[in-house]
Structure 1
């Protein structure tokens, strides 16, 4: 199992950044797939993508993230529904199957986001640190500040092989 984030940078270039799936994420995904655990993310519930500058560790939890922007500029984690709307593409790529999310967009409005970001993360809660941390992206090529009137489109892909 592996994943990656697809970012569309301000210059229009799409970059693909592999991620690490945390220990917590590996355990939770197996529980959801093999044990029908719907307490983590219920059927029809949402995954959420957030942004940060954290240096990730495989044993990290959501409480480990201390560099997420504040709500300035309208920052909020973006939902991806756990259904065929949120994940419209299940396809085979080479010898692996992948789920590709719909595109979500982080848009700054009224002000810049409160800090630069270098990574995205995948979680099961819209805010706070009480949820579960599934994955962190690798580093973006450069720190990025999402300024007023600009946005950052993101997709997530999960591969099983």
Structure 2
């Protein structure tokens, strides 16, 4: 059932988007975007949001986000040349962790091509353990702005 819900995602189900133009090198021998490129794109939209809307400056921040889980459901291929909209939302915001959902949509096509999940645990740079007080307030506030309501979650 969750797979069907994900397949029905639309751009309006997300709170932030980023455009990406596919490159020739993104294709694999099967003439579609390679699976590893999707994960590169997930990382790109998440970190773009953190930098732009959560005041995160990775080289100097006291805390860093470690990826502890990632997953992708593929529904239809994307290839070169194409422009895709990467769409982001937060499905769960915890004390030190955040669960993101990323929808991949081809420009001009309503149906979602892929939906990924990505979990960060924010830890202190030194020691790599979650801070006692959890993630920094700027992260909580910025990520809270793209949390979906309980009704919209899977």
Query: TM-score when scaled to structure 2?
Result: 0.32
Larger Rg over CA atoms: 2
Higher share in helix = 2
Query: TM-score when scaled to structure 1?
Result: 0.31
